[in-house]
Amino acid sequence: MSTHTKHKFLEAFQHVPIYGITSKKDAPHRTVYDIVRDMLESGIRVVQYREKETTGLERYKECLTLRKLTYDYGALLLIDDFVDLALAVKADGVHIGQDDLPPEQVRKLLGPKAIIGLSTHSIEQLERANALVDCIDYIGVGPVFTTKTKPNASAVGLEYVQYARQHSQLPFVAIGGIKTNTIQSVFDAGASIVCVVSELVSARSMEDKIHELMESKHKLMEHTFYE
């Protein structure tokens, strides 16, 4: 990891501190392209492609179009899990889980300019991530609340967000079950960046939904980003 990649990641959230994730199952009548286009038009500048219930060829074709789209908007495209796909479409980086390739190997494959994120679900995993500050750029913290996206994962609660704020040596994204009626508590717990999946992707108007989410945090931009 370089200081440049970390700042590149954080700078993308200066106006809208929401990390976008695709979820076609939450909007089955729409294409992934349409979902991402609406995210970008609403001000989101980091999008993770996460579509596992499709073929490798379909993922490749979708990501090729998303690479051009995000480039046109000056946004970052991250690929969930599939390092080979990230390489093939020249994505900005990947987001990996605890059971995926080790971060050190992912860094060797993608090189120093790629953005690498790692999911964490416990204090122990966060502390291990702290030892990888030279390898990864940010961590995911969650699921904060119970979520249908990962029904078998236990919610870590706001306490883990508070712990991450105090102890993480890396920028973090709070994720999991975050909605309009809970986003305030997540920011209050110390998050500067949040991920809203189902409520955002399924919204009739993403722009209106983002305004609604942000209205719950009147002093949103007073939150301090990692330096």
Helix (H) or strand (E) holding 25: none
Q: How many domains does the chain have?
A: 1
Average pLDDT (71-80) is: 98
Residue 156 lies inside a defined structural domain of this protein: yes
pLDDT of residue 34: 98
Answer whether residue 226 shows pLDDT above 70.
Answer: no
Q: Binding residue per annotation — 16? A: no
Residue 168 lies inside a defined structural domain of this protein: yes
CATH number, domain with residue 16: 3.20.20.70
Residue 223 lies inside a defined structural domain of this protein: no
pLDDT of residue 148: 74
pLDDT of residue 5: 84
Average pLDDT (37-64) is: 97
Q: Binding residue per annotation — 197? A: yes
Q: Binding residue per annotation — 147? A: yes
Q: Binding residue per annotation — 137? A: no
Residue 224 lies inside a defined structural domain of this protein: no
Residue 204 lies inside a defined structural domain of this protein: yes
Residue 176 lies inside a defined structural domain of this protein: yes
- Residue 144: DSSP 8-state: S
For the whole model, what pTM was predicted? 0.93
Average pLDDT (52-64) is: 97
Inter-residue contact 188 to 221 (CB < 8 Å): no
Task: Give the model's confidence band at 217: pLDDT under 50 very low, under 70 low, under 90 confident, else very high.
Answer: low
Answer whether residue 208 shows pLDDT above 80.
Answer: yes
Which domain, by its residues, includes 50?
3-215
Q: Binding residue per annotation — 2? A: no
Q: Binding residue per annotation — 198? A: yes
Which residues have a Cβ under 8 Å from the Cβ of 25 and sit 6 or more positions away? 53
pLDDT of residue 30: 95
Q: Binding residue per annotation — 176? A: no
Q: Binding residue per annotation — 92? A: no
Place of tokens 């479409």: 89
Q: Binding residue per annotation — 48? A: yes
Q: Which of 90-94, 157-161, 219-223 has the lowest mean pLDDT?
A: 219-223
Q: Average model confidence (pLDDT) for the chain?
A: 93
Backbone dihedral angles phi then psi of residue 216, each to the nearest 5 degrees: -75, -5
Residue 114 lies inside a defined structural domain of this protein: yes
Residue 227 lies inside a defined structural domain of this protein: no
Answer whether residue 71 shows pLDDT above 80.
Answer: yes
